[in-house]
Structure 1
């Protein structure tokens, strides 16, 4: 029992409360406005009526501090100075750097007293003692009647009367006489209480303005993404009724009471930045200059005129530590974000085609997002979700049969004829022609004003579509213009779709055809009725009569253009010529005019190619002779002058020289042939 009393005494002594000055008793602004974005962030706006200089207090979760520092705005300072103060986020060790003890010292009274030797204390217990701490020693004593042992601590104090001791467990109270030490202990416990990583941080907003005024405080923090779920009820005509519901959650940790709630659909750029951390720059250590034993430097001369000052080059390197002590600023601590923008022009853009059966959100669209303001203030308790209608209107909706993954799907083409876009979301389809009947589910992306989307929701059991394997045909064509041969390589791909309907009414079949790079639609014509361009492809609408079976051919063409100049033709060797003559011309992949052009090129290039081959052959023969002459010269150096063997080698050398002269003459002849052939080819090219 005495141990419990002692612990309580220490708690009371070391944990005095922190008082915050304020002009009013209630310093908590009231939440009035919430804007939730589909980008996973939300804008929260608080209001408070104040008079004169005052301090407003907000409690912010630790994981939201960075976002608040980045985005907070304050309106209503009335020309006075504004500052925001909060606890440091420095490590405990840094906060304890000026104390006489460490955070570990506060784990137990015995450990704290051991580290505060020399401190003057007053002890109340079985006897009163006042003196300076000398030591705290652990000891083990045996209980009476041999009932075991007990661990206890003996505290020794130096008093004016000498050394006195007390058992720590028997002490009822212990008081530190030094006021500075007592303040340090209180500060230390406050630091430890606020050092929890996920604990909230208290922001004090200090306003020095004058007079009565309303202050608005807003910031952007991370929130759950709100969702949209649509209901579409189809009727007999090409119309449907669309209803959209928003699903959202309050995970802010505080209740939303009678707040203005706005939903934003868009994709704004949002990021986090660790502004609550402290950053320091490492600086180089420069030695202190001294005059003692200063020796002259030894001159080693200049090195390419470059100094050696790079020896102490500084590298700046930032390392994170912890947080700012306070944030000073003017009326606005950050620029308003996109979540807050509502221009006067946009206020006139309202949704007009609205059913009066249920209230819906006021829709405004700006350049980057759709703003949906709920018509009434909302109350949502912390930890609760809400579903509320935001769209309720009639829309054009035409049924089609869409080929998706080679399967016919019943799809509805939804047109947005309103004045604002529709957010993306899931759609549940119902048939409202007789009784409400569930048809299926679909999904729609963002739908801008004036655009249409096909949304599939069920298999079409009355239409069969078979896609045959595509066939490919390659065709070359060529023309000569200004000395250059233009070659066009066309690849046509034909895909046949066989359509069969057992329905009692006409069907509009929609085929989405992929489109590769440089590919165009040849059949049907790309500009024909029912053909539209979609991302990475074409959309083809085909009317299929009731109970009919039809065949639809889709032909696409990709074209590759090449140019063949005279200089490039000179690089055509025999193998390339064989390719054009045998592979292309003979397989019928050219029209007659193109074949004529390539045959003419081949016939005019043939003499030049033959000449090149002949020159290469003569050059090989010369190399053989040169090698043989080298051997003969080496042999002549080894035989006696005037010998029969010398005469024989000399005769062979003479014969080799004759052959060399003949080869050189033949090479020149072939070069003339090649030149004449090239000139003839160039003249022919330029004449066309």
Structure 2
């Protein structure tokens, strides 16, 4: 079946040139000097969103080769055009300006809008000499064109607009009605030539969507100007992305019942490239290649004129000068040297460097990419891997698919080109992705690329040609499951990322509702080591996150389940064990893939444990006694560490007691000072020598004695507290466990 499809496609592509040529598509080439013709011969489409187009011509002697491109492609053409001349030399490449119509009218006495009507043109050409023909022959210079409204005969009030032209003739001013004149021509041939040139520019601008490039090719200088040579012109322009799409068929007559796959575990893969011709011209018998890669593609507005902004300097106008009258001179006692102002001379401008001579010949043509010969067993196109490298630049791997026969695609047409057709190893698995489906795994295929060429990304359509049991049941497709033996059934679609040679991909195409998965999360924390040094308690802790997967198997058959367990930054997989594990786990960028064999109708479990080591640093001198005591009560700490922390908590409590005594004395002193201030204020208001005055003085003396005692107690308490702190610091510093 695969061979028949590809052979039919090849026949279609071979017959397409004749069919499309019968539709009368435009010629893609252009005549050049020396009898040459540029014709499109090669197209290369890249997944970078661009296409390379190569034209060829056979010329002799000097030749001017023409090439038309779309207006929106000119920037890309100017950026990338390259000319290869086998024997001759490459000259200039010319094309019209970005705005040719504005350029054409820039030096004319009228604008493009003046060509919209004869009256507007005559008004713009005021002063030019014209000759009018008709009932009266007049020759004179244009003075004015006046619009007037005239009533038509018939009495229905109908009017018509006319233009009255006034001429200055040899007999004076004469008038005529423009609409009644048979002819009106400019007598000066130069003026008539200007109008003809302007009209030609307007006509040419109607084709503004395309620009014509003229490529000069010079004859070789060895005297063989009469010989023929080949000239190639290529450029890169924006093109739609070509898309890869695949079909994978499993199962065949004679396959084991219930397996849904061939006896050798291989599936038939067909790959196609879907591409569009939106280049603006037909592709007729071109050499077609598609490239899959990720090249850097840039664009720049090279066809847009840019001007440098310059500051405007005002014109210096010299003011009127009124010299004063000379009143004579005086004789000086001693001669003094006259002051002279050296004239400022501008520095001579540096000489411009002579332009480097243009190379007489460009580099030799780039060798065409070699491809494998066409004609494999399945009739597939040749496929070759290309490593693109250039001296001094970074390498970038690309995969090239070259169709071995000429291809014809009309402008705007779409083409499907076969890029792969071969048997590949396939294994059916169930893929559990918690973020995609929380309760059921996905029915999937593990496709391994055992060829020599990578496959670009694309969608894959999955067909089952078996008896309709395993594959369709796994996909939950009951209608397909009733398909008669040997018939082809559609099962689902899958997304396939780039598949390098020797690698494999899991392709999910449906939800396997026959298998149910439950998850249970169990966070944990374990102390692995505790040390004390320089007053710092360092705890080495291992955080553990354990997930238990409980899987209820499908009643219709065994499943090879792959569980994608999420990866977490800083965590490692410490354990992946279960009663039905089979094989070693691997990992993607975001998940671990844990294999699990699930027998039919059975329930199995898998335990996955992630661990993260970390350290906690605790400065013991910054903790209070209660905080240290709480740390000492932790049973996970070693006994030696707990004992040291308990002793340290006692020392810290002693320091805290001394500090509390200091705080009490400072509060008592503050209260005594406030009481003394109150007594002083009262003393000022009491009569001297009175009993109340004497009692107040006695109280002030008593308060002063108490303040002296508090000061002595406070000094003692501060000394004791500092001694306790010193003892704590020394014990902490000396502690090493």
Taking structure 1 as reference, are residues 597 and 663 closer, same or farther at Cα in structure 2, changes over 3 Å only? Answer: closer
Alignment of structure 1 residues 40-79 onto 2, 5 Å: 40-76=49-85, 78=87
CA distance in 2, matches of 1:595, 1:444: 58
1:458 CA drift (Å): 2.7
Secondary structure class of the residue paired with 1:368: strand
**Kept in 1: contact 2:454–2:500 (CA 8 A):** yes
Aligned to 2:512: 460
Residue 594 (structure 2) pairs with residue 540 (structure 1):
yes
Alignment of structure 1 residues 415-426 onto 2, 5 Å: 415-426=448-459
Residue 384 (structure 2) pairs with residue 363 (structure 1):
yes
Taking structure 1 as reference, are residues 232 and 656 closer, same or farther at Cα in structure 2, changes over 3 Å only? Answer: same
CA distance in 2, matches of 1:610, 1:189: 108
1:558 CA drift (Å): 2.4
Aligned to 1:448: 500
Aligned to 1:5: none
Aligned to 2:119: 110
Deviates more, 1:151-160 or 1:47-56: 47-56
1:37 CA drift (Å): 1.2
Computing the radius of gyration from Cα coordinates, the structure with the larger value is: 2
Alignment of structure 1 residues 89-108 onto 2, 5 Å: 89-90=98-99, 96-108=105-117
**Kept in 2: contact 1:478–1:485 (CA 8 A):** no
Write the deviation string for residues 4-51 of structure 1: whole angstroms up to 9, x where unpaired.
Answer: xxxxxxxxxxxxxxxx99635665x10000011122211111111122
Aligned to 2:300: 273
CA distance in 2, matches of 1:636, 1:333: 114
Deviates more, 1:648-657 or 1:552-561: 648-657
CA distance in 2, matches of 1:213, 1:600: 100
CA distance in 1, matches of 2:644, 2:363: 72
Determine which of 119, 122, 127 is the counterpart of 2:131.
122
Taking structure 1 as reference, are residues 198 and 554 closer, same or farther at Cα in structure 2, changes over 3 Å only? Answer: farther
1:419 CA drift (Å): 1.6
Secondary structure class of the residue paired with 2:609: strand
Residue 264 (structure 2) pairs with residue 248 (structure 1):
no
CA distance in 2, matches of 1:342, 1:601: 82
1:631 CA drift (Å): 6.3
Taking structure 1 as reference, are residues 22 and 270 closer, same or farther at Cα in structure 2, changes over 3 Å only? Answer: closer
CA distance in 1, matches of 2:459, 2:360: 43
Aligned to 1:238: 265
Aligned to 2:608: 554
1:178 CA drift (Å): 3.7
CA distance in 2, matches of 1:648, 1:197: 115
Write the deviation string for residues 652-672 of structure 1: whole angstroms up to 9, x where unpaired.
Answer: 344334323422331232122
Aligned to 2:341: none
Residue 531 (structure 2) pairs with residue 480 (structure 1):
yes
RMSD: 3.7
TM-score w.r.t. structure 1 length? 0.80
**Kept in 1: contact 2:86–2:364 (CA 8 A):** no
Aligned to 1:140: 149
Deviates more, 1:397-406 or 1:673-682: 397-406
Aligned to 2:13: none
Residue 292 (structure 2) pairs with residue 259 (structure 1):
no
Residue 720 (structure 2) pairs with residue 669 (structure 1):
yes
Alignment of structure 1 residues 617-632 onto 2, 5 Å: none
1:422 CA drift (Å): 0.8
Taking structure 1 as reference, are residues 506 and 600 closer, same or farther at Cα in structure 2, changes over 3 Å only? Answer: farther
Aligned to 2:338: none
1:414 CA drift (Å): 1.1
Deviates more, 1:367-376 or 1:259-268: 367-376
Taking structure 1 as reference, are residues 116 and 486 closer, same or farther at Cα in structure 2, changes over 3 Å only? Answer: same
1:249 CA drift (Å): 1.2
1:90 CA drift (Å): 3.9
Determine which of 483, 492, 501 is the counterpart of 2:544.
492
Secondary structure class of the residue paired with 2:520: coil
Write the deviation string for residues 325-363 of structure 1: whole angstroms up to 9, x where unpaired.
Answer: xxx987899999xxx8977xxx48x599x9512232322
Taking structure 1 as reference, are residues 652 and 60 closer, same or farther at Cα in structure 2, changes over 3 Å only? Answer: same
TM-score w.r.t. structure 2 length? 0.75
Secondary structure class of the residue paired with 1:285: coil
